[in-house]
A and B are shown apart, each in its own frame.
Chain A
């Protein structure tokens, strides 16, 4: 039975990383860990059903193991920014300020026809009506039209600064420090979330 347990862990991780490597196109409105459960759970549960020669435990043990891994992954996704990046990936901007990001589209293997298809299904048949297109971690695309003139950028999540966003969006840390000081926040750790929109800082404190 220990072999069944260890084999479940190996196969779960193999399927999970395969899905992560394949990218968001394959995910389809689920997080990678949720998709792995959807793929594997039904198959595992049906194994002892198909044959009375297989003890029920051979189906139950993998389910318990997957329940544990799923709970652990959800915990890591919620609690830690780095593990969240590794386990679920990060949203990708494929249109920024009305400009298509060709390199990002190639990396994500999104074709022009995929893009038009998604834009049409979101009610934007004309790409020039859009300012931002975000490819979300669950494989969905979010479309932000021109009239919504800004794109909120997260600067602090779970009390930690997202330095890449500062660099990508040309935001100065000293500006953030001044804003925090002006609002009576002495440490980043006091904040659950802080983001900037139209050069204004919005934040949510921890503990609510």
Chain B
């Protein structure tokens, strides 16, 4: 009986923790994708100074979150984000419109992280 109680407490903690982590990841990922869309609009209008400024903010924001994301998300996903972030950052600094391709990929990887964690039949099976 004591073991069942302990296991129930442990499982409840895991469920609550998972829900909180899932919500946090979703909220931050949505925030990141919205920010990317803003940068995309600036690049599209070739407002390079503003795009560089926003990209710097985005990078700093990501660096604040990366440690937590590493503990809860597959590292392969993080590597994909990191790679595309570096490329986007440098393309923007070079004032190249190719950065739009990399930003689109970056947005895709952020969306992919929270869509693959959604509880639905497609992800379960």
List residues of A whose CB falls within 8 A of some B CB: 1-3, 5-7, 10, 52-58, 61, 64-65, 67-68, 70-72, 74-75
Decide: A2 and B18 in contact? CB cutoff 8 A. Answer: yes
Chain B interfacial residues counted at CB < 8 A? 28
With A1-B21, A7-B124 known as contacts, the answer to whether A68 contacts B11 (CB < 8 A) is: yes
**Looking at the complex, which one of A58, A61, A72 makes contact with B7 (CB distance below 8 Å)?**
A72
Instruction: Tell me the B4-24 residues at the A interface (CB within 8 Å).
Output: 4, 6-8, 10-11, 14-15, 17-19, 21-22
**Looking at the complex, which one of A3, A52, A65, A70 makes contact with B14 (CB distance below 8 Å)?**
A65
Q: Nearest CB to that of B21 among chain A residues?
A: A1
Decide: A2 and B19 in contact? CB cutoff 8 A. Answer: yes
Consensus secondary structure, chain A interface: helix
17 residue pairs of the A-B complex, CB under 8 angstroms, read A1-B17, A1-B22, A1-B117, A2-B18, A3-B116, A3-B123, A5-B18, A53-B79, A54-B74, A57-B71, A64-B10, A67-B10, A68-B8, A71-B4, A71-B6, A72-B4, A74-B4
Contact code string B100-125 (vs A, CB < 8 Å = 1, else 0): 00000000000000001101000110
Number of A-B contacts (CB under 8 A): 68
Q: What is the bound-complex CA distance between A6 and B14, given in angstroms? A: 12
* Best-buried of B18, B22, B76, B79 by chain A (most CB within 10 Å): B18
**For the complex of A and B, 9 pairs with smallest distance between CB atoms:** A71-B7, A53-B75, A1-B18, A68-B7, A68-B11, A71-B4, A2-B18, A75-B4, A71-B3
Instruction: Tell me the B66-89 residues at the A interface (CB within 8 Å).
Output: 70-76, 79
Decide: A2 and B119 in contact? CB cutoff 8 A. Answer: yes
